[in-house]
Structure 1
Amino acid sequence: MASLWSKISASLPVNEEQFPLQFGDKVESSVLEMLKWSRQQLYSNTTSASRMLNAQIILDISWERLNTGTWRHVDKDWRRVYSYGCLFKVAALCQGNPSENDVLQAVKTCDMGLLMGAAILDNILQVFVRILHRELRNTSKEEDKSEYAETKRIKIVNPCAPLIKEELAVSRIKCPSLESFNANYLLPLKPVILERIIDHWPALNNHPWSIEYLRSVAGCRTVPVEVGSRYTDEDWSQTLLTVNEFIDKYILNKVQTSQNGEKALGYLAQHQLFDQIPELKEDIRIPDYCCLGEGEEDDITVNAWFGPAGTVSPLHQDPQQNFLAQVVGSKYVRLYSPEDTDKLYPHQSQLLYNTSQVEVENPDAERFPEFAKALYVECVLQPGDVLFIPVKHWHYVRSLDVSFSVSFWWS
């Protein structure tokens, strides 16, 4: 990895004069001086230890600002300061002849900047992480055969899906025209499963998504993970793990059980994944039907949902139209009309007002007597299925096995 620094430095501005450091009044002059000093070190023969020390000081100061008060009140300049600190730390780690552990730390540093910071220098941290990931892939050893066999077995598990009664089943249709979809489903806000509309996705063809593939393109990347079977549970929390750590701990069941003997569950659910890891974004496509909306393509929110069997999204509603595309595994989904909202007992708190208090598959009839009167439709999504969930429609989702879905929120 001796040539790594030459690749990293080649992506930097050619000199200090072309390396901008412009901030508003909220960034103190002492911090700006530290940033300028770290910038100067980039273009000098300063030791790696000195670079690392200054970078860590910048990161520590900006991290404190990022974690003071609510996130929406964090000034963007402080997020940019944090990103510059990440840049300087990556430079310190990659100087000279870095070890594989140094490169892994550099990747994690880039991910923290991409998650918590703001874009700087034409999103240079994304450029860095591609260089670093390519270096790791070029030097990685062949996968252990026993682990590969284990992931293959998990991938082909065929769980017992719930029996869907015909009168309750969500309608299915193959590749409707835009006009037909608009008239028969979008305007009347009627749920439907669209078949064959994502068969061309590389995620289902050229680069079929599997545990092995996710390891290869994103294994060392640090991502936010939700810990717990559902976000309404008292013990639900969030943490940061690499994709490899998440797979080992929650997908391959290499995890300790809780005190009551239940298996711990974790879920990778976030809208930043495809921006953070463009290799995965290149494997999917925005459904053509989104063009029927009022917004632009940039207004569409793309979310990733990756987790083990048993993970639940409680009954809730969203303020936008939703296409839920199933790529790996299967999911049980139940949908209720917004006309039955009163029978679904939404939480009274402002934080969870869009979430029902009812445990859908094990309802408490005494606490929620009207719930049984609410009409619903249901389905099991298989790879290649795309479920249209109309705006404000309540929906409950349970993963039947290891599952990777992609949702598109649009207006």
Structure 2
Amino acid sequence: MAQVWPDIQVIFPLTEVELNLNFSENVELSLVYILKQARRKLYDKNGTIGSWAEMAQMVLDFSWEKLNTGTWRDVDKEWRRVYSYGCLFKVTALCCGEVSQMKVDEAIKTCDMGLLMGASILDDVLQRLVRVLQNKATAWRSKHSEPGIEPERKKFKKECDPAPTIDPAKAVPRIHCPSLEHFRTEFLDTLRPVVLEGVVDHWPAFKERPWSVDYLRAVAGCRTVPVEVGSRYTDEAWSQTLITVSEFIDRYILREGNTGKGYLAQHQLFDQIPELKDDIRIPDYCCLGEGEEDDITINAWFGPGGTVSPLHQDPQQNFLAQVVGRKYIRLYSTEETERLYPHQSQMLHNTSQVDVENPDLALFPDFLKASYQECVLQPGDVLFIPLQHWHYVRSLELSFSVSFWWS
């Protein structure tokens, strides 16, 4: 791994001046000075690597405090940029000189932290860095593994819950590849849920690069991502943690007894790992919205059978595309809101207090009076969930879904 530096050096601007470190007055001058010292070492690597790493860590520690003060939406983007530069200089310190596999793994994790918590700098330099480092790590592991011997991994045991029997009178209607105009008039304008069939069959995720546990591990196994831990986000024990995709698979997908206990629910996964984004396509029907394509939020939902999303509503139109596994989904219109007993707290006002498949009728006596529709999504199905429609989701087996939020 000693040859990492020449491969990443070409990613940086040719001169020190071109690596812009201009910040607003909100960023302390002392911190800008440390950043400029770290930049100088990038182009004139005199002195110890240790001092370079120490400067980078000082920047990270200081900016991390700023990122965790108050709510995320109130964080000044300048501090997110500072954090990204701290990640950049930590990566360069890790990759300069003789480099071990451990250092490369740490550098990849540092890039991911910058991509998750920071802001884009130098034409997405962290994204380009992590791609080089990931290719290096993959090549190194391939070169040093014994021919014909695969890493010993537990076999994936596919566990399935039986699908609920769908009452035909309550079934969400299905339609095969409707025209844009037909979808608009019959479903979008009337805010009626529908399952679209045949509209994502062309995705590489189904054809050239079919998604599976092994594929996800190969493409993104070493990448650090946020994971939700717990059966559902309304549980007291629910939490979030940062682990690699391979660790998530080993801990929550392959380990027995962890059904529904861990979920990769990520709003940034496809920006963080473009290789996965290349496997999907934005549905054509999104063009009927008022926003631009860049305004569409693409979310990843990957987890074991038994994972539940409590009955809740979202502020935008939603296409939920099922890629791997099956999901049971129940939907209620906004007209039923009073019978669904939303939480009174501001944080959970968009979430029902009712356990949909095991309701406490003593506490929520009117719940059974609420009318609903339901369906089981199969791989290749796309469910249109209209704006603010209440929906409850349970994975019947290992599941990977992609949702598109649009206005």
Q: What interval of TM-score do these two structures reach, taking the shorter chain for normalisation? A: over 0.9
Is 1:311 the counterpart of 2:310? The answer is no
Which of 360, 367, 373 aligns to 2:369? It is 373
Q: Please give the residue correspondences for 1:2-13 in structure 2 after superposition, counting only pairs within 5 Å.
A: 2-13=2-13
Q: Please give the residue correspondences for 1:165-314 in structure 2 after superposition, counting only pairs within 5 Å.
A: 165-253=167-255, 265-314=261-310
Kept in 2, the 8 Å contact 1:148–1:212? The answer is no
Kept in 1, the 8 Å contact 2:200–2:380? The answer is yes
Match of 1:70 in 2: 71
Deviation at 1:340, TM superposition (A): 0.8
Is 1:350 the counterpart of 2:346? The answer is yes
Match of 1:29 in 2: 29
Cα 1:144–1:116 shift into 2, 3 Å: farther
SS at match of 1:241: strand
Kept in 1, the 8 Å contact 2:154–2:254? The answer is no
* Counterpart residue type for residue 187 of structure 2: Y
Match of 1:260 in 2: none
Match of 2:333 in 1: 337
Cα 1:323–1:247 shift into 2, 3 Å: same
SS at match of 2:17: helix
Aligned sequence identity (%): 65
Kept in 2, the 8 Å contact 1:347–1:357? The answer is yes
Deviation at 1:145, TM superposition (A): 4.6
Residue deviations 1:189-213 (CA, integer Å, cap 9, x gap)? 1111000100000011111000111
Equivalent-residue separation in structure 1 for 2:163 and 2:334 (angstroms): 26
Residue deviations 1:143-190 (CA, integer Å, cap 9, x gap)? 965856713x43xx5542111121111111111111111111111111
Kept in 1, the 8 Å contact 2:260–2:306? The answer is no
Kept in 2, the 8 Å contact 1:323–1:389? The answer is yes
* Counterpart residue type for residue 35 of structure 2: L
Deviation at 1:79, TM superposition (A): 1.1
Deviation at 1:72, TM superposition (A): 2.2
SS at match of 1:332: strand
* Counterpart residue type for residue 360 of structure 1: V
Kept in 2, the 8 Å contact 1:248–1:254? The answer is no
Match of 2:397 in 1: 401
Q: Normalising by structure 1, what TM-score?
A: 0.95
SS at match of 1:202: coil
Equivalent-residue separation in structure 2 for 1:159 and 1:139 (angstroms): 40
Is 1:14 the counterpart of 2:14? The answer is yes
Match of 1:89 in 2: 90
RMSD across aligned C-alpha pairs, in angstroms? 1.6
Query: Structure 1 segments of 4 or more deviating over 3 A?
Result: 141-149
**How many matched pairs?**
402
Residue deviations 1:364-408 (CA, integer Å, cap 9, x gap)? 111111110111111111110000111111100001111100000
Match of 1:106 in 2: 107
Residue deviations 1:90-114 (CA, integer Å, cap 9, x gap)? 0011112211111000000000001
Equivalent-residue separation in structure 1 for 2:73 and 2:373 (angstroms): 38
Kept in 1, the 8 Å contact 2:160–2:305? The answer is no
SS at match of 1:83: helix
Is 1:150 the counterpart of 2:155? The answer is yes
Deviation at 1:15, TM superposition (A): 1.3
Q: Normalising by structure 2, what TM-score?
A: 0.96
